Structure 1
Amino acid sequence: MTSLRAAKVVRVAVVGAGPGGVAASKYLLAEDCFDTIDIFEQQASFGGVWNYSNDPIDKIDIPQTNPHQPLDEPIWHSVPDQIGVASRSQQATFVSPMYEHLETNIPHTIMKFSDMPSLEDHQLFPSREVVMQYLEDYAEDVRHLVSFQTQVMEICQTRPGAHQIWLKDLQTNTIYEKIYDAIVVANGHYTVPSLPNIKGIKEWNHANPGVISHTKFYRNAGPFTDKKVIVVGNAASGTDIASQIGTVCKHPLLISQRSESVLAFAGGYKENVQEIAEFLPDSHGTRAVRFTDSRVEEEVDAVLFATGYYYSFPFLSSLESKLISTGERVKHTYKHLFYIDDPTIAFVGLPSKIIPFRTFEGQGAVVARVWADRLELPSTLEMSRWEEDVIAERGADKAFHVLTFPNDFEYYNELVDWAMRATGRGGKTPMPWSAKETWTRERFPAIKKAFADKGDARHGIKTLQELGYDYDAWLREEPPQNDSRSGGP
């Protein structure tokens, strides 16, 4: 077993004040054994990826296949001294993938922290504004730990368990450094968009500037009005954005996909097509693309890639080559959490296809107890073997961190069990998923579809029962007409 006793952790830095960084900080604070817990956030508020910015995008790299990108540059806005009166003070904002009319794809009954009430007074799948306020409320008791508008520029590992952080106060443009014993990396993985290098795409984009984009830069459906649109990809954001574009664009909206999405919604406005094989030069027709089944589509007005993001850590350049190669996963990690070569670096939020908030709690609980020396880690060899076993099972690409149900619930409950084995007393206690929450998780794609099918009436729906999903009735073996034990309609 690996103990951190030889390099006692007393000073901890947390990179990011989004839901992952805040959850981890709460569990660190509850251990009541660390002299310093500092949270550094480049935005002006909590929320991380949930911060909304409507700033225009001047340049998009097409294609975008390199995860090794520099730090984001801030965009400055005047802060009003009072309503409607601009002042000379400036506030830094950063481009995020949050869009104007986003609603969660997870019901509020399970998209919550264990120590916070759910958003039961709001629609079942809350809006981004509601979630942002929820995160602000959740983070209030760690606000005193946060340095906002502070960018982590570089983390240098001077020796195992000793990390020098170079920081930049964005307001004053001052650069300074601090030393910490351990680092929580919670910067998220929605910064560097992945936009594939399809044959002809670079030349096509040069000839047709502004036609190709990525969902990171989508804000609302307005720019797609009366246009022929192709959406590439059909994961959660792609499906939701496509449903918005489909209300204003020329029909059919073309959905280029490898396989049918579990979140696909009904609607006659769309047509599923094959993957794009080639962007054709103008000699084949104006703005034409060819699909893998040889179908050619001409007069394409917009191509929106919903093809995800790369993992990227520009502030870990001394380690990035060890952590990142293709950007599809983070290498040398144990349980999607600890950096194997030096477990005083932990990554909160690497897994995807999960229920995020509670997963962050489970990860934070384990990290806090390990660094408080109340839990031991396996040997370096054993941790490396775990990584090798996952690669053998799922591969070494982006599938490595994908924890689709029930893997996400099993992973979280494993973290809870691990945390509960800690010696001594104290700390926060993460709660395992209940049977009802597990039941809901299994069905939420169907629940989301039923919710979306209500149209504007969905805004008044606050409970699962209003959509015909009644857990108690299911327990009585009298499932509602539109449900079954096999997972919903």
Structure 2
Amino acid sequence: MVDLSYLLAEHAFSRIQIYEQRSTTGGIWNYVPHQSPSSHDVDIPQTDAHAGADKRIWQRSNAVGVLGQQKQEEAVFTTPLYDRLETNIPRGLMGFSDLDWPGDCQLFPRHEAVLEYIERYAEDVRHLIRFRTQVADVCLTEDKRWRVKTLDVPRRNASEPHEEVFDAVIVANGHFNIPYIPQVWGMEEWSEAYPGSISHSKFYRTPDQYAEKKVIVVGNSASGIDIGAQIQQSCKPPLLLSSKSESFLVNAPSPNKVDKPPVAEYLTKDRSVRFEDGTMESNVDAILYCTGYFYSFPFLDSLDPPVITTGEKVENLYQHIFYQPHPTLAFPVLNQKIIPFPLAEAQSAVIARVFSGRLGLPYEDEMKTWEQGWTKKNGGGRMFHVLKFPMDADYIDMLHDWSVSADGEGLDAPANGAVVKRGKTPPYWGEKEYWMRERFPAIKKAFQDLGEERHSIRTLPEVGFEYEEWKKREEE
């Protein structure tokens, strides 16, 4: 995710081109209904970050066809969205700084509302987007520019590649494409004996898929907690929720749910599973892994040094953004446990100013030192890009301060015969945003506890959270 309004506000670039493999804006917020099992085959286990580009799924277009002709097929790409998904972030914290949510939108918006919100935000940049175009390869030229090879998506038959050269590239395709399903002893034999019984949250759509089945959900981050709560309403009780650590969200106790440690072994006899504490469960019908994704950029395989090895993190970056050897390559919103839209704004503000030449970067050795220091402090592997509160809030404010320190910030600049202010100011989180960010798991639980009544809730005070009252108590 990148916020192009910050690039446009620089008034410094002769051309900005966006490539989008889908036919619409919204990225992973585009819902793709449940497909046949063959359309989402996944290796069991799935431990390869180099599994390749997104697979196209062909479905009939909803567009009205010419009279007497069949409707054309169009390519879609599976996203992790499921039918009943609602955000786990309240809208007041989640949105872009210069676009309000509709007044009738519930406090934790449904995925349909989020897509509409993004589409509204993207209206001003739609003319820059080349839809139905998949990036096949990005590589350096001899003069240190970037050659981008693309393919047209719409047709089943292979298309001829197109090539264009750019001074800088922003990789903003997210990191929810290649599922991670860890290796567990006996898993492959189990999957062969009971095809389709092990799956990943990327392919979950409705709890009806698990009606009257004995189910294990593995993972207790956002998707695991939410999907588990849905499945336990229709599966054979109790739902077994397997996890290796405490969730950052509120994992409410329930008579229809049993918390279990990680799965240690699969035993095909009696469809059994052994957990790390030695306990056993037999006659298990389905196991759903909500264990996240690999970082994967198959179109960057030619980079040396690489950005992807194990896929647990993106390597050789400075401040989670810039490719150290050639910082004209940038990666916004790689971080996890964060609030994506404000972070996208803050990182986009820095990227825009660096690419326009108004902000400088350290020498490569200094950028490598930052990466080494961050690894020592925060850990390598899957923890590298994790910014648990208050790290994420502090990072947003650091990016704000960094961006507004740019040369010529806010001064007049000529643009197309007019005089404009250069640069767009990203969000800065004050006390209220910190207060809301710290409490949003508890806010989400209070919202969920209202059941169907939650759909009429619009504000924090309606679920018992009032910033002004809290501030007054603090002062007293």
TM-score, normalisation: structure 2? 0.93
Matched, 1:418 2:393: no
> Residue 272 of structure 2: which of 288, 308, 323 is its match?
288
CA distance in 1, matches of 2:65, 2:462: 40
Q: 1:368 to 1:161 in 2, by over 3 A?
A: farther
In the TM superposition, what is the alpha-carbon distance from 1:410 to its structure 2 partner?
0.5
Amino acid at match of 1:382: E
Q: What residue is the counterpart of 2:450 in the other structure?
A: 454
> Residue 163 of structure 1: which of 134, 146, 163 is its match?
146
In the TM superposition, what is the alpha-carbon distance from 1:388 to its structure 2 partner?
0.3
Q: Is the 8 A contact 1:67 1:326 kept in 2?
A: yes
Amino acid at match of 1:138: Y
Matched, 1:235 2:221: yes
- Counterpart secondary structure, 2:72: strand
Amino acid at match of 2:313: R
Cα deviation, 1:218-250, whole Å, max 9, x if unaligned, reads 011101001110000000011100011011011
In the TM superposition, what is the alpha-carbon distance from 1:73 to its structure 2 partner?
2.5
- Counterpart secondary structure, 2:165: strand
Which has the larger displacement, 450-459 or 351-360?
A: 450-459
Q: What residue is the counterpart of 2:168 in the other structure?
A: 182
Q: What residue is the counterpart of 1:74 in the other structure?
A: 56
Superposition CA RMSD, Å: 1.8
Q: 1:53 to 1:243 in 2, by over 3 A?
A: same
Amino acid at match of 2:132: Q
Q: What residue is the counterpart of 1:128 in the other structure?
A: 111
- Counterpart secondary structure, 1:88: coil
Q: Is the 8 A contact 1:228 1:301 kept in 2?
A: yes
Q: Is the 8 A contact 1:246 1:269 kept in 2?
A: yes
In the TM superposition, what is the alpha-carbon distance from 1:83 to its structure 2 partner?
9.6
Identity of aligned residues (%): 47
Amino acid at match of 2:73: Q
TM-score, normalisation: structure 1? 0.90
Cα deviation, 1:87-132, whole Å, max 9, x if unaligned, reads 4333220011111110000000101001111344211100000000
Q: What residue is the counterpart of 2:86 in the other structure?
A: 103
Q: Which runs of 5+ in 1 are unaligned?
A: 1-19, 480-484
Matched, 1:357 2:353: no
> Residue 381 of structure 1: which of 356, 365, 368 is its match?
365
Q: Is the 8 A contact 2:64 2:71 kept in 1?
A: no
In the TM superposition, what is the alpha-carbon distance from 1:160 to its structure 2 partner?
6.3
Q: What residue is the counterpart of 1:265 in the other structure?
A: 252
CA distance in 1, matches of 2:338, 2:161: 36
Matched, 1:278 2:265: yes
CA distance in 2, matches of 1:350, 1:314: 16
Which has the larger displacement, 81-90 or 466-475?
A: 81-90
Amino acid at match of 1:308: G
CA distance in 2, matches of 1:185, 1:56: 31
Which has the larger displacement, 375-384 or 168-177?
A: 168-177
In the TM superposition, what is the alpha-carbon distance from 1:188 to its structure 2 partner?
0.4
Give 1:134-173 correspondences, 5 Å limit: 134-159=117-142, 161-171=144-154, 173=159
> Residue 426 of structure 2: which of 416, 430, 437 is its match?
430
Q: Is the 8 A contact 1:185 1:347 kept in 2?
A: yes
- Counterpart secondary structure, 1:462: coil
> Residue 328 of structure 1: which of 292, 307, 312 is its match?
312
Q: 1:96 to 1:80 in 2, by over 3 A?
A: closer
Q: What residue is the counterpart of 1:443 in the other structure?
A: 439
- Counterpart secondary structure, 1:151: strand
Q: Is the 8 A contact 2:305 2:316 kept in 1?
A: no
Q: What residue is the counterpart of 2:418 in the other structure?
A: none
Q: Is the 8 A contact 2:65 2:71 kept in 1?
A: no
Amino acid at match of 1:216: K
Q: What residue is the counterpart of 2:195 in the other structure?
A: 209
Q: Which runs of 5+ in 2 are unaligned?
A: 412-421
Q: Is the 8 A contact 1:222 1:248 kept in 2?
A: yes
Which has the larger displacement, 312-321 or 132-141?
A: 312-321
Which runs of 4 or more aligned residues in structure 1 lie more than 3 Å from their structure 2 counterparts after TM superposition?
Answer: 80-88
Q: Is the 8 A contact 2:217 2:224 kept in 1?
A: yes
Q: Is the 8 A contact 1:160 1:342 kept in 2?
A: no
Amino acid at match of 1:194: Y
Q: 1:159 to 1:346 in 2, by over 3 A?
A: farther
> Residue 20 of structure 2: which of 28, 31, 41 is its match?
41
- Counterpart secondary structure, 1:477: helix
- Counterpart secondary structure, 2:360: coil
- Counterpart secondary structure, 1:156: strand
Q: 1:314 to 1:293 in 2, by over 3 A?
A: same
- Counterpart secondary structure, 1:323: coil
- Counterpart secondary structure, 1:65: coil
Q: Is the 8 A contact 1:109 1:120 kept in 2?
A: no
CA distance in 2, matches of 1:61, 1:154: 24
Q: Is the 8 A contact 2:6 2:423 kept in 1?
A: yes
Aligned residues: 456
Matched, 1:300 2:296: no
CA distance in 1, matches of 2:176, 2:450: 30
CA distance in 2, matches of 1:56, 1:144: 35
Q: 1:114 to 1:320 in 2, by over 3 A?
A: farther
> Residue 220 of structure 1: which of 194, 201, 206 is its match?
206
Amino acid at match of 1:241: I
Q: 1:160 to 1:256 in 2, by over 3 A?
A: farther
